[in-house]
Structure 1
Amino acid sequence: MGKVLAVANQKGGVGKTTTCINLAASLVATKRHVLVIDLDPQGNATTGSGIDKHELEYSVLDVLTGQADLVDVIQISEHGGYQVLPSNRDLTAAEVVLLELENREKRLLHALQPVRDNYDYILIDCPPSLNMLTVNALVAADAVLIPMQCEYYALEGLTDLIGSIQRITANLNADLEIEGILRTMYDPRLSLTMDVSEQLKQHFGQKLFDTVIPRNVRLAESPSYGMPVLAYDKQSKGALAHLALAGELARRHRNKQRTATVL
């Protein structure tokens, strides 16, 4: 069964979408089958994957409301090699529409059940707020991957997110856990970066990924060309960092499976 990861942070501008599409492409490069679900009405994971969000016949909103089957809405990222459940501005209506539906917190969970076995990883790009879309992502997910910048305001956002995860765990998804915290836009030349990084190590230990994603021009440029950085410039620091992240994530899951088998 595929591992479902919600890529989430209630603070915007921390690299959620960048992480989502570049991790997906890197996992594909290691022979994994990957689905990216764009749950942000901005549709950046859609356009960053080379899909025109303005030309969609169906989107993730149609899947959540039962107007279309997930398999009929999925598209392929030509340059990334992963599949995409796309979104656009129509998704802004989801908050109101979902409130009128039964099992509104579990619409994505139920939509994914028939296809989970088709993928090794399903990555959900969440909006930067705790709304009904994010709740759907957290209810459907096995774990949360949290990208964050090493700055003090980001620490405050992390505290809020962990509180939200705990509430979801208590009420809607008892198996939800934190997969790991990923340091993004990392610049070791800044003392603030190193100070916050050290705090994260002290508080989260092994939940903190060893891999860091550096500030990188090629990584920032690649979405405007509709491709992950691995396709845009595979030798760039941004591409190599996401390949390292994919490897670290895969090793974590192998080790967890071995431990479960032993127990």
Structure 2
Amino acid sequence: MTPSSSESAPTVFAIANQKGGVGKTTTAINLATALAAVGERVLLIDLDPQGNASTSLGIARSERSPGSYEFLLGLSPLAECVRTSRIPNLEVIPAATSLAGAEIELIDMERREHRLVEALATGDARARWTTILIDCPPSLGLVTLNALVAVDAVLVPLQAEFLALEGIGALGTTVERIKKRLNPRLHIAGVVLTMVDRRMTLSQQVEADVRAHYGELVFGTTIPRNVRIAEAPSHGLPVLIYDNACAGSQAYILLASEFIRRRRTAAEQAEQKAAHESVP
């Protein structure tokens, strides 16, 4: 599982890990908020039927339809599914409980793996937003498959616990299969260590093992265990807005900076590759 170049710098990212409780949604909403704060136009697509990203951004349940369910199944166009958030420059396609039925409904549909990529293309989403982040459900079903076919790259939040290592291996295998069969752009852009507690020997050991195995793929920034991160969703706010001075917020600010640097490097490498290939 190694980084790979794409024809252009990645714009659309899935936040994915088949294991639940590893910080996917927290990473998605706070990375989106940090990018919006520096002037990027950001769309967050909530593809988890639990709708935690929508809740964490203050989208009331009564205001979530049409949302990601209708958008994924082609029942409503992009413009009708997007909501503004409390965060300037950050818009959301929210998730409602109806999304839980999409797994079954997709089975009998034509081009069932391509529903999301075709919906995004029809709405010209790449031209409208600088960055699109997709918060995936904790599974590798058809909804997550649609996300992985639609994106350029995957960010993998990884809890600093031993059993979490097994999940990333399965996800890496899935990514390689999708890359070969359905989405040649797809690659893992990075692994984000979450819920890190350096007071615990186990946490330190897991971090050391992950860095030894995945090398530069692992972000230098880690996200600590922090009570303010846990409190923020109940207020309908990302922790960056709820308490921007806490350790969790500061970590997500650093993560966003590293994310931007990595993407800039990817863009430069893509330009150099294109220039090289154009030389006769």
Provide TM-score, normalisation by structure 2.
0.91
* Contact map agreement 1:79 1:227 (CA 8 A) in 2: no
Structure-2 residue corresponding to 1:245? 255
Deviation at 1:80, TM superposition (A): 6.3
Structure-2 residue corresponding to 1:93? 101
State the alpha-carbon separation in 2 of the partners of residues 57 and 136 from structure 1: 20
Deviation at 1:256, TM superposition (A): 1.6
Structure-2 residue corresponding to 1:53? 61
What pairs with 1:105-120 in structure 2 (closer than 5 Å)?
Answer: 105-113=113-121, 114-120=124-130
What pairs with 1:30-179 in structure 2 (closer than 5 Å)?
Answer: 30-79=38-87, 81-113=89-121, 114-179=124-189
Structure-2 residue corresponding to 1:190? 200
State the alpha-carbon separation in 1 of the partners of residues 130 and 252 from structure 2: 17
Task: Between 10-19 and 155-164, report the one with greater CA deviation.
Answer: 155-164
State the alpha-carbon separation in 1 of the partners of residues 120 and 165 from structure 2: 32
Query: Among 211, 219, 222, which residue is 1:209 paired with?
Result: 219
- Structure 2 residue runs without a partner (length 5+): 1-8, 274-280
More strand by share: 1
User: % of aligned pairs identical?
Assistant: 46
* Contact map agreement 2:47 2:137 (CA 8 A) in 1: yes
Q: Secondary structure of the equivalent of 2:270? A: helix
* Contact map agreement 1:218 1:236 (CA 8 A) in 2: yes
Which letter does structure 1 place at the counterpart of 2:96? Answer: N
State the alpha-carbon separation in 2 of the partners of residues 57 and 162 from structure 1: 33
Which letter does structure 2 place at the counterpart of 1:108? Answer: L
State the alpha-carbon separation in 1 of the partners of residues 227 and 45 from structure 2: 25
Which letter does structure 2 place at the counterpart of 1:61? Answer: Y
Deviation at 1:168, TM superposition (A): 1.0
State the alpha-carbon separation in 2 of the partners of residues 160 and 195 from structure 1: 21
State the alpha-carbon separation in 2 of the partners of residues 43 and 237 from structure 1: 25
Give the superposed CA RMSD. 1.3
Deviation at 1:163, TM superposition (A): 1.2
State the alpha-carbon separation in 2 of the partners of residues 203 and 40 from structure 1: 29
Provide TM-score, normalisation by structure 1.
0.97
Matched, 1:9 2:30: no
Q: Which runs of 4+ in 1 moved over 6 A?
A: none
State the alpha-carbon separation in 1 of the partners of residues 232 and 91 from structure 2: 18
Number of equivalenced pairs: 263
- Cα displacement string for residues 191-211 of structure 1 (whole angstroms, at most 9, x for unaligned residues): 111111111111111100001
Task: Between 234-243 and 80-89, report the one with greater CA deviation.
Answer: 80-89
Which letter does structure 2 place at the counterpart of 1:166? Answer: E
> In 2 relative to 1, CA 108–213 (structure 1 residues): closer, same or farther, beyond 3 Å?
same
